[in-house]
Amino acid sequence: MVASATADARTKHKSARAVASTVTTTDDSFECDTCGTVVPFEEARRSETMGNLDPKKWQTLCCPECGNRLKTVFVGGE
């Protein structure tokens, strides 16, 4: 039983790391579906996310050309 519990813990740890690796970096850029502009992370407009996400941790990036929502990104980090 002990061995089984250890395997479970390892699986959970692994999936947590997989999530962390998807965090958006400031080197990313996003192509706007509406107008085709490629928007570097630094130039995207920021707005608060919809819903109950913490605005200190999540931001919505918007196209500076047309205002289309590009992506919701995690900017928090512990």
Near Zn ion by CB under 5 A: residue from 29, 46, 65, 76: 65
Q: Which stretch binds Zn ion (CB under 5 A): 4-12, 24-32, 40-48, 49-57?
A: 24-32
Near Zn ion by CB under 5 A: residue from 7, 35, 38, 50: 35
Residue 23 as a binder of Zn ion (CB under 5 A): the answer is: no
30 beta partners: 39
- Backbone φ and ψ for 76, nearest 5 degrees, come out as -75, -95
- Shortest gap between Cβ of 64 and Zn ion (angstroms)? 8
- Backbone φ and ψ for 15, nearest 5 degrees, come out as -70, -35
Q: Which residues bind Zn ion (CB under 5 A)?
A: 32, 34-35, 37, 63, 65-66, 68
